[in-house]
Structure 1
Amino acid sequence: MSVGNLRITYEVDASDVIVRVSEQWDRFALDNAAPDVTAEAVLKRSIWDFVCDESTRHLYAHFMARARQGDLVQVPFRCDGPSLRRFLNMSLKGLDGGGVEFRTELIRTEPRPEQPLLKRITSHDDRLIRMCSWCKRIMCDEAWVPVEQAVVRLHLYDQEKLPAITHGMCDDCYKRLSW
């Protein structure tokens, strides 16, 4: 998908239930092997069903509260695929009745060698590795490193099954986004 072409919008109501998604939502979900997050799967569900870790939940709640108070909140983040780094910007705007509109726009992409660790259909074992929800670095040897470095450090390239990914937030992103 070309830069500038990806614009996804969704809305939550005053109870944080997803009530609307834009037409590009399904296309993005299906293009990224994520049929479990199509519009049919997310509409009428709480946004909190899709935010995994406490630090990210805390920031989302903070961003949404600011938007509901009338602030326009802008947040840079990453949404990477196995062979592509995606740099995006999310804007949150309060709506009448206490809802919040989320607008996500693709800023740029960077190709990279395919990372099987990031494939949704990859077979996983019982291990978990933690990935930052915002910058997509992985916790490895008590440091947050890019996926490519983590694969080498953890010797994942020669394993039949890869660890599953759980999400968290690195200290750098928490400091940057907690204003």
Structure 2
Amino acid sequence: MSDDRGFPADGEEFGLSYWLDVGDVIVEVSPGWEDFAQENGGDGIEAKKVLGRNLLSFVHGDVTRMYVRSLVQSARMLRRPICRTYRCDSPDMRRFMEMRLTLENSGLLRWEHRTLRTEPLSRRIEFAVGSAGRSRRIVVRCSICNRLKASGGWCEPDRYEAPLPAVEATVPVIYGVCPDCLGGRSTISASG
């Protein structure tokens, strides 16, 4: 069973998976991939558009790319599963997730994802990757915990006071990794 965005229901086993070859090229996706892509407005993430492409072509921000590379290298070098929690929010829901990277006997690296729990955001907020016009400020968003860098530190997305006109519905972001997540002190927990 899955939630309204195609992720496994809270506490379910890993449901969404993909496999990487030694060059970090996506060579296989799990059977539910197409449904997940469609349910999440998947322009660009349908199986035919991800197979044969390097994983890092889907990762935004230099710090985030370094983080992903270190996870992949650790799983391959240590030859044991690597598990990490992260957030994959929708515009109105916090989704607390877990990923597991496992090096298989075939040499392929299996990357799996599952939902640990969800909770509503206090207000709807959308983000767009890219450059901002001269009148808009780009905000740094942590790729792991989804918090935003504000003048007073890092805060939850729905608590961010955007310096944008009230009619603006989308906050322009670049992706990075906050000091807590980079240092292994993630603010994400499996329980509420």
Higher normalized helix content (fraction of residues): 1
Q: What residue in structure 2 maps to residue 86 of structure 1?
A: 95
Matched residues in 1 for 2:178 and 2:152: separation? 11
- Give me the TM-score of the superposition, normalised by structure 1: 0.85
2:184 corresponds in structure 1 to 176
- Aligned to 1:12, which of 20, 23, 40? 20
Give the match for residue 3 of structure 1. Answer: 10
In structure 2, do the counterparts of structure 1 residues 84 and 157 end up closer, same or farther at CA, with 3 Å as the change threshold? farther
Q: How far apart are residue 107 of structure 1 and its match?
A: 0.7
1:45-88: per-residue Cα shift (whole Å, max 9, x none)?
Answer: 00010111222222222211221121210111110001111111
Say if 2:150 is the partner of 1:140.
yes
Partner of 1:71: 80
8 Å Cα contact 1:14-1:97 kept in structure 2: no
Deviation at 1:142, TM superposition (A): 5.3
Q: What is the deviation of 1:25?
A: 2.1
1:39 aligns with 2:39: no
Aligned to 1:110: 119
Find 1:99's aligned residue among 108, 117, 124: 108
Structure 1 moving runs of 4+ over 6 Å: none
Equivalent residue of 2:126, what SS?
helix
Gaps of 5+ in 2: 4-8, 187-192
Q: Which moved more, 1:25-34 or 1:64-73?
A: 25-34
Question: What is aligned with 2:38?
Answer: 30
Answer with 89-98 or 124-133: which moved more: 124-133
